[in-house]
Amino acid sequence: MVITRDGNIAAKSKLFKENTMDSVMKYVTGFFGGLMTIMMAVFPVTILWQVLTGTKVFGMDVIANLTTLIEGLGNAGFVGLVVLVIVASFFTKK
């Protein structure tokens, strides 16, 4: 923080706060982006594992859960379509 001759605090502290918040947001965004990348890589493997072996993965029936999700979106009509478009927009690269 820098105090000028007339007693005002210079804009350095505001710039420092903005840079700090930018770095925090980049860190959080990068963390969740990496987490989603890992999950999107593991998801097809869990489906393949269940199809090939017939056993549950981590105690979850992945195919049944996916089927229930798709049936729920299909039975919801227009709202289900809107939700599907919103969810799909999260997975597209911008």
Instruction: Assign 3-class secondary structure to the chain.
Output: CCECCCCCECCHHHHHHHHHHHHHHHHHHHHHHHHHHHHHHHHHHHHHHHHHHCCCECCECHHHHHHHHHHHHHHCCHHHHHHHHHHHHHCCCC
pLDDT at 6: 54
The model's pTM is: 0.54
pLDDT in tens, 10-23: 555 555 666 787 88
CB of 91 closer than 8 Å to CB of 40: yes
pLDDT at 31: 92
pLDDT at 14: 57
pLDDT in tens, 7-57: 555 555 555 666 787 888 889 989 988 898 898 888 888 888 888 888 888
